[in-house]
Amino acid sequence: ALGFYTQDLLVEFAAGVLLGMAYGKGWLRRARAWWIAIAAGFALLVFHQVAPFGLPRSIEWGVPAAAIVAGGVLVPSFSAPSLELLGDWSYSLYLTHPITLAASSIAWRLAGFGPSLLYPVAAVLFAVLGAGLVYYWAERPIDGFLKRLTRGKARSGRPLHGELADASLPTT
């Protein structure tokens, strides 16, 4: 059982849950020094590229990712349309990043590039652009379809699953 709960992806997910809980309980407050956590996270990612230690993925990638996310949580409130767009793309990024990051690694090597300080930047850009494409080509159309399919029906008092089943029946 311990082997299951210590899988890298599950440990990384748990770190995100803990960050969310800490923020929700008010233990993480917006701060002027937010950039330190983000810079440290990116520095660790770059360092991992230059001098990998061979540690578990949840440490080599998860700790820097957690630092970057924590820094993002600490950023004082402001409005930025480009960041709001990234927020819209976040679910697509969550779903596609394993594929786009693997593809970026393969493309990087096929292009003849070796270990470089530029790879983490290129990989993040590749993953974000891939998420944008999936958001516009899949997530948004599916979301719109489901909203049209269920518009007004969720308030009818009947379970939603029954309404979806009814919606798929042919009409006469």
Tens digit of pLDDT for each residue in 69-85? 999 888 888 888 988 99
pTM over 0.85? The answer is no
Tens digit of pLDDT for each residue in 134-143? 999 999 999 9
SS3 content of the chain, % helix, strand, coil (to 5): 75, 0, 25
Is the pLDDT at 158 greater than 80? The verdict is no
Give the contacts of 15 (CB within 8 A, at least 6 positions apart): 58, 62, 65, 66
